[in-house]
Amino acid sequence: MFKRTCNNSLASITILSVLTACGGGGGSAPTAAVSAAASTAPVSAATTAAPASNFSYNKILGAYSAQQWDAISLAKIVDSGSTLNGEYIQSMATSFTENGQSYAITAAGRSNGNITLDYSWTVNTDGTDTAVALYDPTGFQVANSYQQSLAGAELSISIYDSTWLASQGIEYVDGAAAQVIYTDSDPIHTLPLIYGDFTESGDIKTAANQDFALLPDMLFQYWSTDRNASITLVAKGSGNINVNYETNTVTGTVVLDKFYNYADVYGGNTTYALVAGIPNITMTLVNGTLVDGQITATIDTSVVITANGTLSGEGYLKGALFGPEGNELGATLFLLQDNEDTHNYFYWDTTGIVLGQ
């Protein structure tokens, strides 16, 4: 999907209270969080299979050597931190390899506007890279953000903490988000991603429905009416995705109803307050499909705000089933303000990740 942001069209990307989007005059610093999957022999990890499954899967929680996870990523490209112009790449060629205390990540793709991204990073968790622990509002650690200085740019990559994921009942899919901010030419590239162990096609259910309770983690950005200043928030909430295995259709909603100051979250604060005044955003999946364990859908939202008009947007979701019998789900998504939006006060967009089980 490609959109140039004009009077009432906008773009953005978010993830695990992690990614940052393009910025106006008051834009925020970069960060990210979420991950993706595949398979190799672990040094010491739980390689388990559910009793009903004939396949073996590697859990996210463990120590691995040369473990290539399966991965899915989107990308947002912003020409400048002082403009709303942006493009998205719906399909990146992405790899995510865990090797002891490091992650090797590659991501490449081309936008509809013919902008090419081609990245290769090594993220070190042994103290070599600067790390900031990220917490939920109660003070429980949920992720780590790693920072590196690149040639002419700064890189931030946020990755969920596997212990926190286990506390949420998630074992086979993780999330991460990367952001590159260039110091000279001023573009910003944001990449939310998921990784883990894809469900084998022969292990996917063929009958009945399955509901997945969702943990959305997004970046939400909005600009003042004159577009001279922007505010970046971390957005969280809830949701549900239903997979119909007989028809291979996917339906559901993602609700963003909790918003936090980006600097509080990414500064490593252990407690922080809700930001008031942001209307709840309900994203509805449209024309969702399941093909060989891979999920795609368009996204639509329309929220009537009394006396102030309507928040309206459209976007895209790409994800997959993970682990034994596809009992876990991960997806990346973005939502852009569209031409039907009549809200008087600001222009907005959001991007990020959802995990579910």
Tens of pLDDT, residue by residue over 34-87, are 333 333 333 334 444 445 678 999 999 888 999 999 999 999 887 655 455 567
Residue 26 lies in a domain: no
Residue 18 lies in a domain: no
pLDDT reported for residue 33: 34
Question: Is the confidence at residue 10, as pLDDT, over 50?
Answer: no
Mean pLDDT, rounded, for 183-208: 90
Q: How confident is the model at residue 112 (pLDDT cuts 50, 70, 90)?
A: confident
Q: What length does the chain have?
A: 357
pLDDT reported for residue 84: 57
Question: Is the confidence at residue 18, as pLDDT, over 60?
Answer: no
Residue 3 lies in a domain: no
154 Cβ neighbours under 8 A, 6+ residues apart: 30, 147, 148, 180, 181, 183
Tens of pLDDT, residue by residue over 287-331, are 999 999 999 999 998 887 767 788 888 899 999 999 999 999 999
- Whole-angstrom Cα distance, residue 212 to residue 257? 19
pLDDT reported for residue 199: 98
6-20, 71-85, 116-130: the lowest-pLDDT one: 6-20
Between residues 89 and 184, the one the model is more confident about: 89
Question: Is the confidence at residue 25, as pLDDT, over 60?
Answer: no
Residue 98 lies in a domain: yes
pLDDT reported for residue 42: 35
pTM recorded for the entire structure: 0.83
Mean pLDDT, rounded, for 218-224: 82
Nearest Cα neighbor of 210 from 56, 37, 357, 320 is 357
pLDDT reported for residue 349: 82
Question: Is the confidence at residue 14, as pLDDT, over 60?
Answer: no
Residue 266 DSSP one-character state: H
Mean pLDDT, rounded, for 224-232: 70
Question: Is the confidence at residue 24, as pLDDT, over 80?
Answer: no
Question: Is the confidence at residue 98, as pLDDT, over 50?
Answer: yes
Q: Which of 23-32, 53-62, 274-283, 323-332 has the highest mean pLDDT?
A: 323-332
Expressed as residue numbers, the domain containing 53 is 37-356
Residue 12 lies in a domain: no
Three-state secondary-structure class, residue 264:
helix
- CATH code: domain of residue 234: 2.40.160.90
Taking all residues of the chain, what is their mean pLDDT, rounded to a whole number? 82
Q: Percentage of residues in the chain with pLDDT exceeding 70?
A: 80
17-26, 133-142, 166-175, 291-300: the lowest-pLDDT one: 17-26
17-31, 71-85, 186-200, 221-235: the lowest-pLDDT one: 17-31
174-183, 195-204, 267-276, 308-317: the lowest-pLDDT one: 308-317
Question: Is the confidence at residue 118, as pLDDT, over 60?
Answer: yes
- Whole-angstrom Cα distance, residue 75 to residue 94? 11
115 Cβ neighbours under 8 A, 6+ residues apart: 77, 87
With beta carbons less than 8 A apart as the criterion, state whether 180 and 155 touch.
yes
Per the structure, how many domains does the chain have? 1
